[in-house]
Amino acid sequence: GFEEFVKTAEGAKILFAEKGGEGFAAIKPGKKITAVIGPEGGWEASELDLAQKHKFQIITLGGRILRAETAAITITAMIQNHFGDLS
Amino acid sequence: GFEEFVKTAEGAKILFAEKGGEGFAAIKPGKKITAVIGPEGGWEASELDLAQKHKFQIITLGGRILRAETAAITITAMIQNHFGDLS
């Protein structure tokens, strides 16, 4: 389940949320990055609490709400662009 | 067709190709950006010539070859991230 996942995640741990987080520039990448996006309808407060308890950093992309299908590719592109070889 | 499209495109005109172009940082955005990605199998040399003739700038993303479905979202994300409100 979600708790097991956030407990065992490795590297820089980032959770994208539609509000309340820091900007993308706040990400400090390690060699590994674990990035998670929310489900349709967004995160439960209890999930955000659990993620933060396990050192996930909450990141918010300027108020845009993306479809789940698009969000995964969008965020992968941004991470590869800033920290990987997509540039 | 493609010629009519490249002839009438507006704003900063960018064509993404899998090789031979400049890096993403070379893009100088205007208020409008027209960005085009290639089809499965890549561009014909004649299409690249036609695009350049009509002032398209060729951009290559570090040797990565993306699926067409992924490329459109990836490039939209990068453009919104660098020049728009996705950050």
> The domain spanning residue A62 has which CATH number?
3.40.1280.10
Q: Phi, psi (5° rounding) for residue B33?
A: -130, 130
Confidence of residue A78 (pLDDT cuts 50, 70, 90): very high
Q: How far apart are CA B65 and CA B37, in angstroms?
A: 11
Q: Does the beta carbon of B70 lie under 8 angstroms from any beta carbon of chain A?
A: yes
Domain ranges, residue A42: 2-83
Q: Are A41 and A80 in contact (CB under 8 A)?
A: no
Q: How far apart are CA A79 and CA A36, in angstroms?
A: 12
Give the C-alpha distances (Å, rounded to integers) separating A15 from A3, A27, A58, B59: 13, 11, 5, 31
* Percent of chain A whose pLDDT exceeds 90: 71
Mutate to test the interface with A, among B16, B78, B85 (most CBs of A within 10 A): B78
The answer, yes or no, to whether residue A32 has pLDDT greater than 80, is yes
Average pLDDT over residues A47-63: 94
With H, G, I as helix, E, B as strand and everything else as coil, classify residue B15: strand
The structural domain count of chain B equals 1
Question: For position B40, what pLDDT does the model report?
Answer: 86
Which residue type, as a one-letter code, is found at position B39? P
Mutate to test the interface with B, among A18, A66, A69, A80 (most CBs of B within 10 A): A80
Confidence of residue A68 (pLDDT cuts 50, 70, 90): confident
Give the C-alpha distances (Å, rounded to integers) separating A21 from A17, A37, A66, A86, B81: 7, 13, 15, 25, 17
Task: Nearest by CB to B77, from A23, A63, A78: name it.
Answer: A78
